[in-house]
Structure 1
């Protein structure tokens, strides 16, 4: 048995009590509502259920809208909605439903079929201070609201129906319900999402005037809800297609497992000569001057470096004078040996002294010649600023400059340890020089250092040497710099994208 009609706030009512047998809502019938039932049960039922007079209806509507503005919380607003509109709408039972939060799901998206499905729970019932959601009648009303919303959604703002429509035919409450005519009114406000529903029940059919008035009241209460909670921002265009975005993202992740691309890395590159001639100091000394400009073309035998030769020149002069003395002594002994036997014996010694003097002179001459470094092959002189070398002391074997053939070049690549891929001989390399970034050069690795070395910036790098694939291609100018892309083994796109993050996580966590 459903509860009888609820009076306005001026009529005192007692709370519902659950019947032990049926657990339905019951409460005593107020005198005013009893007289209303007597009138509707008579022959003039239509006149009793007709809409109130325009003046009384307008005054009640103004009063109700004024009262709901003073509601400062949702609970107060729902109690007002469940009880006060009895002054305008002749209902016998009113329930307020709110949309229940969706159940947690492991999937990041929902299927389109269930995108509009929503569970509703009762939050206010006319004549009751609190809602007992364990009551079978409350559960029955919630199931009706959920079924109705699932089938109609927002397509019908105000919907009247008669039981057993949208009710479970096997539920005992469907057969025992006394109020068979229901009116469902969702609270809609200015393109906001519908989160509250209002259901009115009575034992006679609803009229169109009641639907119009209920829709007006629902809009007022929806506006009150927005005033309490604040209006929700409209859903952006891309959020409306969020399910499609999730599906496309999942498809892209799956596809990345089957798409294979070469593992690549970028590293700085420099154009260097092949097998250059290193001009090193033959002995300890001091550089006096450099005889050629940087990058100058030199031929075989061209003087390149002049070392300070003051001491060697003096030693050469002393050795020359010693040779002259030895020769004069030998000439004197040769002339005396004709008549003097003793001079003949000293002639052999003088001859040996002359040979020693000749050797000393030749050695001094050779050392003096080494103070001038000469090119042993034709090419281009490669070194830094000449002012950095003038007056600089050098040790034996210290490199001063290089002479290289500009027609024979190669690419020297410094690959950081953190970016190193499988560097094997013959791997493909694409060189982008800063002087011509739109004209990449094809090359291949000819050798790679097995050990990383630290440069001046403190970065450990592997030295990789690559040469052009086309031997007939025009050689690039020595010293040009740029960026090289080294192609390693073929890996999946997923591994290519996650290689660096996984490496960073492993270095940080040690897993």
Structure 2
């Protein structure tokens, strides 16, 4: 008979083990605690845990992982499946070789000793509490006979294990509702399906690629006025953006050097002409003077050609407008006294009604574009009234911009119906040379998902170098 102190010690140990059992947060942790703590309540050589839903041995004492392919586990699984189908499967009992099928009984002595205690784990179904359900069993293997009468704490241990096991299984079933289990349809699955279908449909929604780029209104096919010779600009005779007529003087070059050269050339011509006349008079009395007449005549003609060239150059020093239009020039005061080279551009004369868009498309925002691609131009001064245009010229080589970035220069022409016919004042004020804004270019159709993730995917490709 056990002493009171020994009984108190056993009860204290049982309470601690039961507390550890109920603190298990998962089925694997619970199985590990069952097979390793059961041996502290009664002497046994080995403890196995068989689960009914898995139909196999899932845990064994002093074993971290059970191999289901070993001969012992395969034989024991067949035995447990047979015992679970018996009428007394939900009752604790001692098992022997006689309680096994004939095909399995012959191997009992090979794998197990004489005494095995079947300790079932049962739980009541939430819908039917009168018919308990077998959810597993503990197999206590020992050389000596183990009974519940000899170890009464095993009954309490069986109840605690059954309760903890059923509670964790219920929690696991509730968590699986969000994991689309099998073919079971629930509100959670339907909600998840609708949300996923909505996201997939939204990402696959067809949209048109668009890109924004800075743009400026400039003249189309303007007349470029260049320096006729190497010299100095004396004065700009017109103001920027002022209208001029054909033949009107717009630039005056410094003619002092040309006038000096012209005066010297005229004196050389006068001398050559006088020498030629004198030789003609001498040739009448002196036949030997006739030999020099041809040389003097060519010298006089050369001097005359020099005079005509310098006179024509002086005339071209006053640059006139080749056509009627608007003057496009930088600050006139910056040009006064400025030395220019031959052919250097000074100003432009543009037609007021011939305009185009100069678009600077950044390299990082480049998309596939084709001629006649539609463009909408939003002026900085009137952002709510876009102007319609279409691409006419594409560049395949980027160029540096004033901001220090690389961009593709594009050209676009305005459509005829840019502004409604009834708004003539807005049409005249909106399309002025030099006005800046933002151009929206429309590319090929694509999917919304690719349109939203195009930039991140491009950065990811550069970062991963593929």
Task: Please tell me whether residue 506 in structure 1 is matched to residue 458 in structure 2.
Answer: no
Gaps of at least 5 residues in structure 2 are 42-46, 52-91, 93-117, 140-147, 149-153, 171-186, 420-426
> What SS class does the counterpart of residue 376 from structure 1 fall into?
coil
Q: Which residue of 2 aligns with 1:12?
A: 8
CA distance in 2, matches of 1:139, 1:325: 142
CA distance in 2, matches of 1:320, 1:98: 118
Answer yes or no: is the 8 Å Cα contact 1:337–1:347 preserved in 2: no
CA distance in 1, matches of 2:397, 2:286: 75
CA distance in 1, matches of 2:40, 2:332: 96
CA distance in 2, matches of 1:428, 1:139: 80
Q: 1:438-469: per-residue Cα shift (whole Å, max 9, x none)?
A: 00111111111122112233322111101112
CA distance in 2, matches of 1:460, 1:172: 75
**Range with bigger deviation, 272-281 or 382-391:** 382-391
| Alpha-carbon RMSD | 4.8
Answer yes or no: is the 8 Å Cα contact 1:381–1:401 preserved in 2: yes
Answer yes or no: is the 8 Å Cα contact 1:454–1:460 preserved in 2: yes
* TM-superposed deviation, 1:350: 5.8
The structure-2 alpha-carbon separation of the partners of 1:507 and 1:340, relative to structure 1 and needing over 3 Å to count, comes to same
- Equivalent positions of 1:466-481 (< 5 A) are 466-470=412-416, 474=427, 476-481=431-436
* TM-superposed deviation, 1:409: 0.3
CA distance in 2, matches of 1:407, 1:499: 39
Q: Which residue of 2 aligns with 1:428?
A: 374
Name which of 282, 285, 297 aligns with 2:243: 297
- Which structure's relative contact order is higher, taking Cα pairs within 8 Å and 6+ residues apart? 2
The structure-2 alpha-carbon separation of the partners of 1:274 and 1:471, relative to structure 1 and needing over 3 Å to count, comes to farther
Answer yes or no: is the 8 Å Cα contact 2:31–2:49 preserved in 1: no
* TM-superposed deviation, 1:421: 1.0
* TM-superposed deviation, 1:355: 3.2
Q: 1:187-221: per-residue Cα shift (whole Å, max 9, x none)?
A: xxxxxxx99x9xxxxxxxxxxxxxxxxxxxxxxxx
* TM-superposed deviation, 1:375: 1.0
Aligned residues: 348
CA distance in 2, matches of 1:172, 1:303: 112
Q: Which residue of 2 aligns with 1:366?
A: 312
- Equivalent positions of 1:474-489 (< 5 A) are 474=427, 476-489=431-444
CA distance in 2, matches of 1:268, 1:165: 78
CA distance in 1, matches of 2:257, 2:369: 52
Task: Please tell me whether residue 444 in structure 1 is matched to residue 399 in structure 2.
Answer: no
> What SS class does the counterpart of residue 123 from structure 2 fall into?
helix
Q: Which residue of 2 aligns with 1:227?
A: none
The structure-2 alpha-carbon separation of the partners of 1:169 and 1:469, relative to structure 1 and needing over 3 Å to count, comes to closer
* TM-superposed deviation, 1:122: 11
Q: Which residue of 2 aligns with 1:144?
A: 123
Answer yes or no: is the 8 Å Cα contact 1:429–1:442 preserved in 2: yes
Gaps of at least 5 residues in structure 1 are 1-8, 18-26, 28-74, 83-94, 104-118, 152-160, 187-193, 198-240
* TM-superposed deviation, 1:178: 7.3
Answer yes or no: is the 8 Å Cα contact 2:233–2:339 preserved in 1: yes
* TM-superposed deviation, 1:269: 0.5
The structure-2 alpha-carbon separation of the partners of 1:273 and 1:249, relative to structure 1 and needing over 3 Å to count, comes to farther
CA distance in 2, matches of 1:447, 1:169: 77
Q: 1:457-487: per-residue Cα shift (whole Å, max 9, x none)?
A: 3322111101112267546000011111111
CA distance in 1, matches of 2:39, 2:12: 9
CA distance in 2, matches of 1:443, 1:251: 38
> What SS class does the counterpart of residue 434 from structure 2 fall into?
coil
- Equivalent positions of 1:239-254 (< 5 A) are 250-254=196-200
Q: 1:105-136: per-residue Cα shift (whole Å, max 9, x none)?
A: xxxxxxxxxxxxxx999999xx9998999599
